Amino acid sequence: MLEIIKEPWPWYVAGPLIGLTVPILLIIGNKSFGISSSLRHICAACIPANISFFKYDWKKESWNLFFVFGIFLGGVISAYFLANPNPVEIAPELSAQLATYGITDHSGLVPTQLFSWESLLTLRGFIMIVVGGFLVGFGTRYAGGCTSGHAIMGISNLQWPSLVATICFMIGGFVMSLLILPYILSL
């Protein structure tokens, strides 16, 4: 059984399992799936400030905090017990293209030449980590939710704003990977 868990699951198994969270949450208690809102709940619980954005009954959404903690705990358990000791397998063409940018270490889930404490002190690393993180946070707040909330929960509930947001997420991803990322990597 452990070998089955360690192997990557095909999309036709993993996708429906993720998709089933929507009806389960709706049936259990009319709950909405989304990860980015949990940061708001944590801030509302921990910061006793007089900020109107954080003045609401966050205890009604405490289930979301347990859900996010479960995701974190699952990640820790899988990284500790289910980690693949082999380097990440990528297409040879992609490996050759990344080597032109000086990215040759594929031993982890992310290239250490881009995502490490040492790279944070470079212009390329600062843009990827700090500016990228800010843009993800800003975009999540501006769009009224993250990709999981809009693409999984919103579209399954036939919400027009979620479809628009998901289309914009996809267009932004294409523009970033095809036009902007090669420029950043060449820095």
Tell the burial category of 37 from Cβ atoms under 10 Å away from its Cβ (0-12, 13-18, 19+): buried
pLDDT of res. 86 = 78
0.85 surpassed by pTM: no
pLDDT at 19 over 90: no
pLDDT band at 175 (very low <50, low <70, confident <90, very high): very high
Alpha carbon of residue 156 to chain centroid: 19
pLDDT at 81 over 90: no
Q: Are 153 and 41 in contact (CB under 8 A)?
A: no
Q: What are the start-end ranges of the H helices in the chain?
A: 2-6, 11-19, 21-29, 37-46, 62-81, 92-99, 117-120, 123-126, 132-143, 147, 155-156, 160-175, 181-185
pLDDT of res. 70 = 92
**How do residues 128-141 score in pLDDT, each as one tens digit?**
999 999 998 888 88
**CA nearest to 152, candidates 2, 5, 8, 31:** 31
